[in-house]
Structure 1
Amino acid sequence: VATRGIFRDITKRKKTEEELKQKTEQQQVLLSSIPTFVYYKNTESKLITANKAFAEMVNVPIDQLVDKTAYDLFPKEQAEHFHIDDKSVMESGKSAMNIEEKFTDAKGKTRWASTSKIPYFDDKGQVIGMVGITSDITEHKMAKDALQKAHDELEKRVEERTAELAKSHGELLRTKNYLQNIIDSASEIVVSFDKDNKVSTWNKQAEYITGFKQKNIVGRHISKLKVFDNPKELLDDVQYIYDGKKPESDTLVLKAKSDVKKIIKTS
């Protein structure tokens, strides 16, 4: 009895299958070891598979996630939002990166996530699904919001302080103007000097007597002004006053624009 058969060498195919199986197992181990949520969906937005972190987040075993949609795992409002994003990615064939969104975990707690959704294609270039990669950024978001709140509070305080200073400045300016009006209304000459020996006050009566305007006198050093007949003597008298001593002279000689000298009794 003879037996005939056709024998094919399938060694190469078996090797390829083994390599593919090994690669798949390696990928699954890798995906299961990372805390990031990774999941695959078909064009109907139904889950094909997901990693351990995703399964734990929704509290559903990995083998029971197949064919689940967002509506099966999340509140309706969130699911609607996720579904719209899925549809946009798969219809456009373009990735959506770093979407910041809220989600509710299996314990009912609202958390924040950063999600990227990438379409994947078959050999003909047709979209056949998408992969989602989601990171829980709740702690980062809370820290960022706390920092922003602190920044806003600081800006508010700065604005309030600025307003207070502006109000104080306005009051000081009004007081200064009020005093200046009193000085300008005086019938006597009012002249004062600062610690740098510059004229700080020159009232209307001084203008009238000498012919020199306030704007040309105030802020200038005694030695630079022609209106003072003996600037050296005046500088000595001013220094005596700052030292708490009585000046040697009780008069001030002013020289008007007309070169007429005016002797003023000081006090």
Structure 2
Amino acid sequence: MNAQVGNKVAAYEALLSPAEESKLSWMMEAIEHNRFLPAPAPENVFVGDGDYKAIGAEFLGHFVRIGRLKPSDRVLDIGCGIGRMAIPLTQYLDGASGSYEGVDPVGEGIAWCTRNITPVYPRFRFCQIDLAHELYNPGGSLSGHEVVLPFSDASFDFIVMVSVATHLPIHEIAAYAREAMRLLAPGGRLFMTAFLILDGDHESVGARPKFTAGTEAGTWYGDPAAPLAAIGFDQNLIEQAIRMAGLRIQRVDLGHWRGTDSTHYQDVIVATKPEEAA
């Protein structure tokens, strides 16, 4: 099945019923304004600008509407940071069957999540992976292009990579795609955000960031002085890395970073692990 590009619901995906949409919208609003949910001090949020709970609630909507996340899913959050995606998922995932694992190279974020989330939500667990990254973990002992996460094959139904591919070279994105293929159960989904560069995107007046050609073909830098601060790729390059891992791209939704209308900032790719042969 070919992927649909755009911001409409793909043909393979059933729309939420009015009741389901109403419930989801109510939950997102409640999460955003729930003062009892844990949140780190603003000065400790290293995962980007914006309101911590509001952005988390927004992505819960994207996971459900675009990625078909279900309450019973077993979720892996690669690059979980300081729990911005985990907090809303505590309210959505089923406490008996749903589960969450978060991994990140930044120890401070993992420590905060372990102290503030796991004691209340024991099916939410967090683990530091000492992967080397020139911005987030320059002293890391593990190479990103050989990443192997500490989980068994087919352990997850839904893998999240939000604002991860925007800070990695393409060979490391390919390595994570291979890990997603290993870790997903048949029919499981990978939800990845990225900067996909289409013809004219780097010249668009409204585009933020403004990309310039990088040192490798098909690679684009938001800031050539700090390439991994915001890195984009020709669409075919990143999609090829995902397909080579064995995943099937089901949907591509373009973001509003390029100055066009969208419900989300970065571009979204949803890929699935093929079902086992009958």
Q: Could you say whether these structures have the same fold, taking a TM-score greater than 0.5 normalized by the shorter chain as the test?
A: no
| Shorter-chain TM band | under 0.3
Query: Whose helix proportion is higher, 1 or 2?
Result: 1
TM-score by length of 1: 0.18
TM-score by length of 2: 0.17
